[in-house]
Amino acid sequence: MKKEITSASSQLAEQLASVRVSQPFSVLGCHSRDKGAQITAWRPDAISIQVEDLHGNKLGQMLKLDQQGLFELELESIPTAYQLAIQYSDSQVVDIDPYQFNELAFEGLAQLHEAPQNLYKTLGAQIKSVELEGNTISGVKFAVYAPSAAAVSLIGDFNLWDGRKHPMERSIDGHWVLFVPGLEAGCKYKFEVKDPHGNQLPHKTDPVGFYSEQYPSFTSIVWDHSQYQWNDEHWIASQHTDKRKEAMSIYEVHLGSWKRKQEQEGKGYLSYRELADELVNYVKDMGYTHIEVLPVSEFPFDGSWGYQPIGMFAPTSRFGTPDDFKYFVDQCHQNNISVIIDWVPAHFPSDAHGLARFDGTSLYEYEDPRRGWHKDWNSYIYDFGRDNVRQFLVASALIWMDEYHIDGLRVDAVASMLYWDYSRDEGEWVPNVDGGNHNYEAISLLKWFNEEVYKQYPHAMTIAEESTAFAGVSRPTFDGGLGFGFKWNMGWMHDSLDFMQKDPAFRKYHHNEITFAMVYNYDENFVLPLSHDEVVHGKGSLLGKMPGDEWQQAANLRAYTAFMWAHPGKKLNFMGNEIAQASEWNHDTSLDWHVLEYPKHAGQQALVKQLNATYKSSPALYQGDYDTRGFEWIDHNDWERSIVSFQRNGIEDQQTIIVVSNFTPLVRESYRIGVNHAGRYRVILNTDSEHYWGSNADCGIEFEAEQIGWNERAYSIAVNLPPLATLYIEKVV
């Protein structure tokens, strides 16, 4: 009898030692037997094990069945709970056996598909507690989806990264689970996964992890989200649901290079808490309404700027802990600043510790490289038709509103999701079922994502970076659209920048580039972006794009900036643009803040600050961005003199602001502008002012409308237009 037990146990011990057991709950822990109960424990390298109840009372000495570490004890009855007093060669430890918590380990899996957010409330590392024998047993429940894996083990600093010690249990639908008593926030872990053929893969970080270390370990870290106390209740309650009629001036920021510490500590990054002080105060002082942060989802490579994410549920630890990031958002809200983050569901990197071939198969990516590989970015494309991927991505979006109180998500590279042939030549892509190039699966996912965000967080918003003419990006899904709240106007950005880069002498031949955006302005809810993409990869800075000598460059930039702030559409300005940084953006260094010592740069900063103040206090400049009543061309045909003039109208009040841009270095004296009504008109902003390093050419301050018909209007005013300048002229009520 003893020999038979030894033979069977040796076989089991060998399977456990080689990490080939997928159902450890069936062989480990406490099980009823005909004559009572049997406890089986697997503790590699243990010398002896004593079984105790949770009060330390001895229940019996375990029999060592195999030298590799398999132990057994037979009892007359099943204990409510037990712990193991384990003797090693150099230490003694007391562990509550994780293999007695079968029900707790599987908790929540049955409800996973009831709501997307159940995914991040069930999977990953969840801190749990249970009451047994008058004791509160706390620990961490781990769950990871790897349906094709032959075996999965939990490894971490708590078991010396030994894959033998904590084999996980496979559920019927492919989730691997285990509750480990005694673990708490801060412990480090990964998953040791074996592919379907039993080959061990590189150690994997938690796909639903909340916190992780940086290079070289990329280790996941257990985090307790319940500890942070928010102070933004009044902010959340004050937020309106229709952002289209609100002022929106967005400061786009790369947290790692906005400002760095003078005395380098590592890379000199400011922490989330330091940014909550310095960046938030700066943005508030400049008058921006929103901060948009380049992706903060955990990512392995600094040079990707976050656009190659791996931890879709975790803010990067480069700048601090998840609670530190919450503090940053909290401080933004307490200073009346909304927070938008870039969210990247289009692709993910091939780093071995991440999602790629997670269980030895294409669990997250399309198998066929003609669908599953971005050659431009050397990254995998999510399989948007798989249910696990769809749940994963939508849940990863919702957690930012739920746990981090984010106000909006800007979705990167939407065009690459919508089209199978995006950046692919003939023969490099597979058509859809109808023979076309639309990715129906991605379209369906984006619609569902938007519906979930607006249903659960109606005060939040979604923004698409979509560079094609795909119809209805910012239209509701019930109206056939994708459901985004807003869309970046890439056409306006490229056309207007192309116009501004022309020598003023030749701009008249390209006049339509500065006016064309109004032809399609009401097709979408547009955001006008001057983003990071325009000041990298050899494109130079915005200032550097402007033609002419030093003064003309600065004047061009000022005139263009004010033109943008008055044009229909919400505003987005990348960091550094507001100080007319001369050098191209470099993610490895701070912005060139020292240039503010010079009036050219200080003048641009002062102008942007004044533009934000004027914009926020002038409903005519934002209420009617997407309403035909909010905009009137006065004259878009004066191509010969490269002058455009238009009128912005308030929707809920009678405010009127006339905008005139002179895109030549010539003063246009007594330039007549048609107006709708008699009365007085006053200049409220002039980019040629000496306050902004302008020439301060005399254009006048107030004008009385004359009954001289002009621009198909009954009245007009005559204004001396300064060189390379934009004027805002308000009707004095």
| CA-derived radius of gyration, the chain | 31
Please list the residues that pair with 280 across neighbouring strands: none
Map 44-59 to HEC letters: CCCCEEEEECCCCCEE
User: What is the mean pLDDT of the segment spanning 71-92?
Assistant: 93
The residue among 384, 389, 278, 298 whose CA lies nearest residue 349 is 298
Q: Token pair for residue 670? A: 């007594």
Task: Read off the pLDDT band of 265 (50, 70, 90).
Answer: low
Are 268 and 227 within 8 A, CB to CB? no
Are 398 and 456 within 8 A, CB to CB? yes
Please list the residues that pair with 169 across neighbouring strands: 177
Say if residue 86 is in the same domain as residue 110: no
Q: State percent of the chain over pLDDT 90.
A: 94
Number of H helices, E strands in the chain: 15, 35
Say if residue 170 is in the same domain as residue 212: yes
Tokens 């009572």 correspond to: 36
Helix (H, G, I), strand (E, B) or coil at 549: coil
Cβ-based burial of 190 (10 A; exposed 0-12, middle 13-18, buried ≥19): buried
The pLDDT of residue 187 is 97
The pLDDT of residue 230 is 97
Are 462 and 485 within 8 A, CB to CB? yes
- 139, 144, 148, 150 alpha-carbon torsion, rounded to 10°: -20
Q: Token pair for residue 298? A: 């955990």
Say if residue 9 is in the same domain as residue 74: yes
Please list the residues that pair with 574 across neighbouring strands: 252
Q: Which helix (H) or strand (E) holds 499?
A: helix 490-500
Are 243 and 461 within 8 A, CB to CB? yes
Q: Is 465 designated active site?
A: yes
Say if residue 80 is in the same domain as residue 146: no
Full DSSP string of 631-654: EEEEES--GGGTEEEEEEE-SSS-
CATH code of the domain containing 690: 2.60.40.1180
- Asked if the model's pLDDT at residue 484 lies above 60, the reply is yes
Q: Is 412 designated active site?
A: yes
Establish whether the linkage from the previous residue to 458 is cis, with ω within 30° of 0.
no
Helices 490-500 and 550-566 sit at what angle, rounded to 10 degrees? 150
Query: What CA–CA distance (Å, rounded) separates 93 from 52?
Result: 12
pLDDT digits (tens, 9 = 90+) for 389-446: 999 999 999 999 999 999 999 999 999 999 999 999 999 999 999 999 999 999 999 9
Say if residue 125 is in the same domain as residue 85: no
Say if residue 108 is in the same domain as residue 74: no
- Asked if the model's pLDDT at residue 2 lies above 50, the reply is no
Residue 653 inside a domain? The answer is: yes
The pLDDT of residue 303 is 94
Task: Read off the pLDDT band of 3 (50, 70, 90).
Answer: very low
pLDDT digits (tens, 9 = 90+) for 169-195: 999 999 999 999 999 999 999 999 999
Show Cβ contacts of residue 470 under 8 Å, excluding neighbours closer than 6 positions: 415, 418, 482
Task: Read off the pLDDT band of 57 (50, 70, 90).
Answer: very high
Say if residue 106 is in the same domain as residue 94: no
Are 409 and 343 within 8 A, CB to CB? yes
Show Cβ contacts of residue 469 under 8 Å, excluding neighbours closer than 6 positions: none
- Asked if the model's pLDDT at residue 133 lies above 80, the reply is no
Count of the separate structural domains present in the chain = 3
Residue 141 inside a domain? The answer is: yes
Residue 428 inside a domain? The answer is: no
Query: What CA–CA distance (Å, rounded) separates 66 from 53?
Result: 24
Q: Tell me the one-letter amino acid at 709.
A: G
How many residues appear in the chain?
733
Say if residue 67 is in the same domain as residue 119: no
Residue 154 inside a domain? The answer is: yes
Tokens 């991440």 correspond to: 354
Q: How many CB atoms lie within 10 A of CB 408?
A: 25
Residue 130 inside a domain? The answer is: yes
Q: What letter would DSSP give residue 71? A: E
The residue among 368, 572, 602, 549 whose CA lies nearest residue 461 is 572
Task: Read off the pLDDT band of 653 (50, 70, 90).
Answer: confident
Q: Token pair for residue 406? A: 């984010």
Q: Which of 83, 98, 113 is the last residue of a domain?
A: 98
The pTM (predicted TM-score) of the whole model is: 0.96
Say if residue 85 is in the same domain as residue 201: no
Query: What CA–CA distance (Å, rounded) separates 496 from 644?
Result: 13
pLDDT digits (tens, 9 = 90+) for 316-327: 999 999 999 999
Say if residue 72 is in the same domain as residue 130: no
Query: What CA–CA distance (Å, rounded) separates 601 from 542?
Result: 12
Are 36 and 74 within 8 A, CB to CB? yes
Residue 117 inside a domain? The answer is: yes
CA distance between the termini of the chain: 103
Q: CA torsion sign, 442 to 447 to 451 to 453?
A: positive
Q: State percent of the chain over pLDDT 70.
A: 99
Residue 166 inside a domain? The answer is: yes
Helix (H, G, I), strand (E, B) or coil at 358: coil
Q: Which of 195, 412, 495, 635 is catalytic?
A: 412
Q: Token pair for residue 634? A: 């006065």
The residue among 409, 526, 399, 414 whose CA lies nearest residue 461 is 409
- Asked if the model's pLDDT at residue 485 lies above 50, the reply is yes
The pLDDT of residue 297 is 97
Q: Token pair for residue 124? A: 């990953």
Q: Which of 188, 208, 227 is the last residue of a domain?
A: 227
The pLDDT of residue 7 is 73
Say if residue 119 is in the same domain as residue 198: yes
Residue 557 inside a domain? The answer is: no
Q: Which of 66, 98, 130 is the last residue of a domain?
A: 98
CATH code of the domain containing 50: 2.60.40.10
User: What is the mean pLDDT of the segment spanning 337-356?
Assistant: 97
The pLDDT of residue 1 is 35
- Asked if the model's pLDDT at residue 304 lies above 80, the reply is yes
Q: Which of 403, 465, 534, 730 is catalytic?
A: 465
What range does the domain containing 671 cover?
627-731
Q: Which of 76-90, 133-147, 552-566 has the highest mean pLDDT?
A: 552-566
**Alpha-carbon distances, residue 582 vs 159, 257, 546, 593 (angstroms):** 53, 16, 11, 11
Say if residue 69 is in the same domain as residue 137: no
